[in-house]
Amino acid sequence: MSTIAFVGLGHMGGPMAANLVKAGYAVRGFDLSADSLDLAGNNGVTTVASIDEAVSGADLVITMLPAGKHVLAVWQELVSVVPPGTLLIDCSTIDMDSARKAHALAEAHGSPALDAPVSGGTGGAAAGTLTFMVGGDAAVFAGAKAVFEAMGKRIIHCGDASAGQAAKICNNMILGISMIAVGEAFVLGERLGLTHQALFDVASVSSGQCWSLTTYCPVPGPVPTSPANREYEPGFAAALMLKDLMLSQAAAKDTGAATPLGAKAAALYQRFADEGFGDKDFSAIITMLRDKAGA
Ligand code: NAD
């Protein structure tokens, strides 16, 4: 069984690394945070004090970091310490430009690379049920599939380098827009005297059906597991949704794609975060829509 170096053991990376250990891999983990290292150590990860130490004897390296600048800094260091041929996988959600630069760094070093962002949140990371959307060479993907299967349920090859990142950015733009659409419908329904349950019962089996409604309903009641039932504790924080919407807007600007609803969703989540609610679940945007109807 191979040895995996894992860099970035935060809310997502920590449980992902723990699932690799459960699947029988030897995992050598590094993070800048002592707390994250301690937690990972309790879950069977061999924690080390540097990237250099983490990659020693590793067959492949996984990074799970906050944003593009962190990934590029770490990959720059990785290519100076791993032998050429070592597979590099980035699971972070990052901008397209950084994703392409990361692939270029690996290629110049003679290492295969995959971008493999995830969907499913911290719950999916803990349960090992993440969806991986993967970009890179098909043969490299096939060789790495078992590693993804130890951490996720659905593993999708999206195309060449950075196609996984593109899929993630497009998917989350749909999610941000659809959550606002569902929130607006509930707020309008309230003004019209419609109960939440009645609107849910109709829309969940009609043409308004979508994940934001049926799995993540932004009002308490119809879907007992949704964050609305626990004061909008995340879940998926509004600040992270804003981050992903900003990635979509950067990509739209670069490519000239028209995304007027993506732009509006980004502006609304920006306002929500500016008002101090970035750490609430992203479905809590309904509270701003309700309080400031028409504003
Ligand atoms: P996090 O902030 O909890 O974890 C990131 C970790 O990276 C931190 O522990 C930090 O100390 C570490 N780190 C930063 N720079 C480092 C460096 N140079 N060397 C070593 N470690 C370093 O973030 P997270 O919630 O785990 O998210 C990670 C990525 O996954 C992000 O790109 C995020 O957008 C994406 N994502 C998150 C979720 C979610 O629900 N949290 C869902 C899907 C995707």
CA distances from 226 to 211, 230, 258, 259 (A): 11, 8, 32, 28
CATH of the domain at 259: 1.10.1040.10
The pTM is what?
0.95
Is 283:269 a contact under the CB 8 Å cutoff? Answer: no
Which residue's alpha carbon is at the smallest distance from atom 4 of ligand 1?
Answer: 10
Of 161, 195, 229, which residue is a domain's last?
Answer: 161
| First-last CA distance in the chain | 58
**For residues 41 and 246, what is the distance between their CA atoms, to the nearest angstrom?**
34
Residues 152 and 285 in one domain: no
Model confidence over 172-192: pLDDT tens digits? 999 999 999 999 999 999 999
Report the nearest-CA residue for atom 30 of ligand 1: 92
- Please indicate, yes or no, whether residues 144 and 220 belong to a single structural domain of this protein: no
Where a domain ends, among 161, 196, 216?
A: 161
pLDDT band at 43 (very low <50, low <70, confident <90, very high): very high
Q: Do 79 and 41 share a structural domain?
A: yes
Q: Which of 168, 243, 264, 292 is catalytic?
A: 168
Residue 208 Cα to ligand 1 midpoint, Å, equals: 33
Q: What is the Cα–Cα distance from 221 to 216, expressed in whole angstroms?
A: 11
- 112 with 136: CB under 8 angstroms? yes
Domain count across the chain: 2
Band of residue 262 on the pLDDT scale cut at 50, 70, 90: very high
Residue 9 confidence (pLDDT) above 60 = yes
Tokens 């309790």, residue located: 42
What pLDDT score was predicted for residue 235? 86
Alpha-carbon distance of 230 to 234, in angstroms, equals 9
As a whole-number percent, the residues of the chain with pLDDT over 70 amount to: 99
Shared domain check, 70 and 120: yes
Confidence of residue 1 (pLDDT cuts 50, 70, 90): low
pLDDT at 122: 87
pLDDT in tens, 110-163: 999 999 999 998 889 999 999 999 999 999 999 999 999 999 999 999 999 999
**Tokens standing for 272?**
């929500």
Tell the residue nearest (CA) to atom 8 of ligand 1.
10
- Domain shared by 17 and 154, yes or no: yes
Range of the domain at 156: 3-161
* Cα–Cα distance measured from residue 186 to residue 195, given in angstroms and rounded to the nearest whole number: 9
43 plus 143 within the same structural domain: yes
**Of the candidates 141, 161, 181, which is a domain's last residue?**
161
CA of 120 to the centre of ligand 1 (A): 14
Q: Are residues 90 and 175 in the same domain?
A: no
Return the pLDDT at 295: 53
- Pick the residue whose CA is nearest to atom 38 on ligand 1: 121
Return the best residue to mutate from 64, 130, 243 for the ligand 1 pocket (most ligand atoms within 8 A of CB).
64
Does one domain contain both 7 and 52?
A: yes
CATH number at residue 115: 3.40.50.720
68 and 186 belong to one structural domain: no
Q: How large is the average pLDDT for residues 19-40?
A: 98
Pocket test for ligand 1, best of 6, 32, 53 (most atoms within 8 A of CB): 32
Could you tell me the distance, in angstroms and rounded to a whole number, from the CA of residue 245 to the centre of ligand 1? 17
Q: Cα(236) to centroid of ligand 1, in Å? A: 13
- The ipTM estimated for the assembled molecules is 0.99
Q: How many CB atoms lie within 10 A of CB 191?
A: 9
Give residue 292's pLDDT band: very low, low, confident or very high (50, 70, 90): confident
Mean pLDDT for all residues in the chain: 97
Residues framing ligand 1 (Cβ under 6 A): 7-13, 30-33, 36, 64-66, 70, 73-74, 92-93, 118, 121-122, 236, 240
pLDDT at 293 over 70: no
In this structure, the answer to whether residues 30 and 10 fall within a common structural domain is: yes
Distance, in Å, from the CA atom of 106 to the CA atom of 128, rounded to the nearest integer, reads 27
Catalytic residue flag (residue 168): yes
Helical segments of 82-191, H only? 96-109, 121-127, 138-149, 163-191
